Structure 1
Amino acid sequence: MNHMNAKTWDELENYQPTVMKILRQVLLKKRIAHAYLFEGIKGTGKKDIGLAFAKSMFCENLVAGYKPCEECMQCKRINHGNHPDLHVIEPDGSSIKKEQISLLQQEFSKKAMESNRKFYMIIHADKMTTNAANSLLKFLEEPSQETTAILITEHIQKILPTIFSRCQHIPFQPLPKEELIKLLVDRGVRVERAPLLASLTNSLDEAIHLNEDQWFLQARNLVLKLYEIKINQTTMDTLLFLQTDWFPFFKTREQIDIGLDMLLFIYKDLLYINLDNDTEFVYPEYTSTWQKYALQLSNNRITEQISLILEAKRRLQSNVSGPLLMEQLMIKL
């Protein structure tokens, strides 16, 4: 498994300052636990930070006593995904099987190749079968001196309490939105599109994927057009636009939900215009056009419109027909 685009320690500090501070202390005080549980939503850098932590343990020339140098043989082998004493286990199909844990135990019963240190990471640890979890439990109960485990999960509630209690729990926070916007722009996403992507998802990979998705780009245009018709034309025209353009495009519940989110962000922008809060705009390139609409509305009215959209999002989850929901929403707005 190649980790070539591995992020440096400093980059990861922007992602998860608190987590990196904890790990720095652990390394400086040489108090490395046998097992850690990294927990947080998708896209928060859990695996990257696990690899950086591993590099710090194996690195031959630590910088400042805790940062991997990225240059030595050990760091490079980890980046290339071929370090003999580092193992990453991911679900095989939909689960992590007992055989995968047994193989790991066999690997670990051999003498470590380079030093006495061994390191393993279990991605989606909540997907272990009961048998796999029980094998792992035995393994965690008799840790050899120099073995470190990192279990990674997005669903902490699915981790067995017996496993949870043997790990040091490290929660990961969602990426700050402005950090995500910056990362997206660095990756070549257009400046005016980045805030919308960062508002729809907290995962960098997912945001980049959305940005390359034709459906998403068309959806954005349709939402902006719907708002324009709603502002400048009659309710009849708005309902007609729903029939001709909107319904054929936003078909599934999930798609309608994204459409509602995109619409919601327009009203939030109107509110931010009135509050002079320009750091939060989701559609920065439209704010000057929308200024005059925003000023005609009281903040109370905009807040009311926002809660109508949120109400529609809630009703969408309870099997109301999508088209009916949209028509009612447009009339109320």
Structure 2
Amino acid sequence: MTWNEMREIQPLVAQMLVNSFKKERISHAYLFQGDKGTGKREMGALFAKSIFCKEKEGAEPCLQCRDCRRIDSGNHPDLHWISPDGQSIKKEQILNLQKEFSYTGLESNRKVYIITDADKMTTNASNRLLKFLEEPSRQTTAMLLTENSQAILNTIRSRCQILAFQPLNSDRIVQQLEGQGVSESNARILASLTNNLSEADELQQDEWFANARKLVIQLVEVLLNKPQEGLLFINHQWMPHFKERQQIQIGLDMIMLWFHDLIHHNLGREQAIVYIQEKEKRNQAALRWTRQSVTHSLSLILEAKRKIDQNVHPTLVMEQLTLQLQR
């Protein structure tokens, strides 16, 4: 990606980093914080290219030279990526990084390291990194990437320039998906479920997603017309399909989108509606649920999502939610 392309995705962050090149004020450490799929990793790679590219014009790397190509392939000797080893980033990984940085750069005196999922550092790893940051070298640049900056030590955060990545524009994702041949209806749902275009594309190609969408609409129909069959539906149709906790979370998100649509419907914001093919059911549901009851339903779904995160038994969570939504 070029800086112009990154400006379209993250205009503020991209401009701040480009300005740091123009003013020759590259910080020794950056903290990129933002949701998954907002371009943190791509921004880190592009920034590294701008640092190492010998053919760049201003901040814009050429993207063709040996340095740029090796960064793309993950083989640049002076750029080090660190990611969780299993569930966490361990002290040994930071120690190995420090050891690497004690050597003279192979290509130049500059060194760059990028830590993905930086919030997953163990306490020992965090403390070791803190000592590293406390003695910065002017020739060293660190980028810490995280979806959860609050889980990072305040002492580490205070030594970084914090750059907040904004959620991607859903309209842009819808347009890109439609450009790939995805129906407008599916594109709207996918763009509402994830800010990550590649994740949206994976979901779209998975037959599981198509069946999940059908089950959400069927659940709505049961709640509207046959509430006494709600628990039967959950046990015999919903749970056999939504087997993993992550799948259940997606299912709950899709139910939330339905209730959000009811709010948009009540407010006359038809352009914001996601389930655009379900107009008749939405009109029927608008007679069944008041705006107050829709708001209450959304809070119930959020509570169900929290329980899934807390490892409460998924079937019990869905049964309770279904009973609550029937009232």
Range into which the TM-score falls when normalised by the shorter chain: 0.7 to 0.9
Q: Distance in 2 between matches of 1:191 and 1:211?
A: 12
Q: 1:237 to 1:87 in 2, by over 3 A?
A: closer
**Residue aligned with 1:279, SS:** helix
1:211–1:58: structure 2 CA closer, same or farther, 3 Å change rule? same
Q: Which of 158, 173, 182 is residue 151 of structure 2 equivalent to?
A: 158
TM-score (norm 1): 0.82
Q: Does 1:277 align with 2:269?
A: yes
Report the equivalent of 1:42. Answer: 36
Corresponding position: 1:11 with 2:28: no
Residue of structure 2 in register with 1:303 after alignment = 291
Q: CA separation of 1:291/1:145 partners in 2, compared to 1, >3 Å: closer, same or farther?
A: closer
- Aligned residues of 2:83 and 2:89 also touching (Cα < 8 A): yes
Q: Which of these residues, 72, 77, 85, is aligned with residue 79 of structure 1?
A: 72
Specify the alignment match of 1:322 in structure 2: 318
Distance 2:256 2:122 in 1: 41
Partner of 1:51: 45
**In structure 1, what is the Cα distance between the partners aligned to 2:303 and 2:77?**
53
Which residue of 2 is the match for residue 99 of structure 1? 92
Q: Judging changes above 3 Å, is the alpha-carbon distance between structure 1 residues 127 and 238 closer, same or farther for their aligned structure 2 residues?
A: closer
Aligned partner of 2:54: which letter? E
| Number of the residue aligned with 1:4 | none
5+ unaligned residues in a row in structure 2: which ranges?
none
CA shift at 1:67, angstroms?
1.8
The secondary structure found in structure 1 opposite 2:145 is strand
Cα displacement string for residues 85-140 of structure 1 (whole angstroms, at most 9, x for unaligned residues): 11111122222233322322232222222222211111122233333333323322
Give the number of equivalent residue pairs.
319
Residues 301 and 321 in structure 2, CA contact (< 8 A), matched pair in contact too: no
Which stretch shifts more, 105-114 or 253-262?
253-262
Deviation at 1:255, TM superposition (A): 5.1
SS at match of 1:192: helix
**CA separation of 1:306 and 1:146: change in aligned 2, threshold 3 A:** same
Q: Let me know the Cα RMSD of the aligned residues.
A: 3.0
Q: Distance in 2 between matches of 1:170 and 1:161?
A: 15
SS for the counterpart of 2:270 is coil
Q: Percent identity?
A: 48
Confirm or deny that 1:313 pairs with 2:301: yes
| More off after superposition, 31-40 vs 111-120 | 111-120
| Alpha-carbon distance, 1:217 to partner | 1.9
Instruction: Show the counterpart of 1:149.
Output: 142
Give a deviation string over 1:37-96, Cα, whole Å, max 9, x none.
111222221111011111111222324x12222122221221122112111111222222
Whichever residue aligns with residue 62 of structure 1, its letter is K
TM-score, with structure 2 as normaliser: 0.83
Distance 1:54 1:43 in 2: 19
